[in-house]
Amino acid sequence: MLSLLLLLAAAPPTTLPPYRESIRCAGLAEAAAKLEPGGAAAGGAAYDAAVFWGMAASERARKDGISGERFTADQVAAAAKADAELRGPGTDALTELALCIARVSAAAKG
């Protein structure tokens, strides 16, 4: 994870995704990290994505003038919704999660 953060810090500035998209990916990745064997402490791909998207959503919220309280509430709600979708049948949550994780890999490569 530390290497991902260092890559992000050294990477050239990129356009942040819209808030709604960032908070959705943050929620999906957070929920998935908790479902991974060993949970979020295992530090798998979903955990790395949760860190990345949490930071992206936080920065987008700051740039959009969204309060910290609203951001926190939005992230909790997004993770709860994602958890229900990842555990339940008939949603596109796994596909969305895969796309969010792929975007983290692409961002880390530069």
Q: In this structure, is residue 8 part of a structural domain?
A: no
Q: In this structure, is residue 80 part of a structural domain?
A: yes
pTM of the model: 0.80
Phi and psi of 5, rounded to 5°?
Answer: -65, -40
Q: In this structure, is residue 9 part of a structural domain?
A: no
Q: In this structure, is residue 4 part of a structural domain?
A: no
Q: In this structure, is residue 78 part of a structural domain?
A: yes
Tell me what pLDDT residue 14 has. Answer: 60
Q: Which domain range does residue 64 map to?
A: 16-109
Q: In this structure, is residue 2 part of a structural domain?
A: no
Q: In this structure, is residue 79 part of a structural domain?
A: yes
- Total domain count, the chain: 1
Tell me what pLDDT residue 35 has. Answer: 87
Per-residue pLDDT of the chain (110 residues; tens, 9 = 90+): 444 444 444 444 468 899 999 999 999 999 999 887 765 555 678 888 999 999 999 999 999 999 999 999 999 999 999 999 999 888 899 999 999 999 887 766 65
Tell me what pLDDT residue 41 has. Answer: 55
